[in-house]
Amino acid sequence: MSRPTLTKQTPPADFLSFYWLKEELVAFLREHQLPTTGSKQELTSRISQFLTTGSVPATGKPSQKAVKVEMPPTFTRQSIIGAGWRCSQELRAFFEQEIGKHFHFDGVMRDLIHNGSGKTLEEVIEIWQEESRKPRKEKPIAVQFEYNRHMREYFKAHPQATLQEAIQDWETKKAQRRH
């Protein structure tokens, strides 16, 4: 069976048997006036329930409006991370100036910025540099990033393959029923 068009009449088992882009899930939910917020897994679950029962219970979560946090216009090594800071382009520019052009917001750094209230940027730089000296381990790719997992596995199995070959294999795989 080839991948069906996602409609209100799609059998739930068929829906769950194929890969869907998050944009496709959101479009379906909007079309049926259903909540579009949440992770890809939450959207998939919501659609599956809708296809099965014809309705979706309220999420139970109050709507959360993003609170705009003012970050300082300039940064120094003595700047103290505040609650709600984000990995902005201005902060990236500061780190590139202090660490070098090889700086990037990796998982450790994003966590330090989002959850490091009270730390100075000096402390954050030291932690980042310490982490960057450690040998790199292959990090697991979260379940919602199926494309990324496919690409990693494809290149492991086919080290001489081109990117175009890997993409073509992905296109073939996502059109097939999952096992």
| All structural domains of the chain with their residue ranges | 12-53, 68-137, 141-179
Handedness of CA 45, 51, 57, 58 (dihedral sign): positive
* Both structure tokens of 120: 């100075």
Per the listing, tokens 């382009």 go with 89
Quote the CA–CA distance of 75 and 102 in Å, as a whole number.
19
pLDDT (0 to 100) of residue 1:
64
Contact 108/127 with Cβ under 8 angstroms?
yes
Quote the CA–CA distance of 94 and 88 in Å, as a whole number.
10
More confident residue, 131 or 165: 165
Quickly state the pLDDT bin for 141 (edges 50, 70, 90): confident
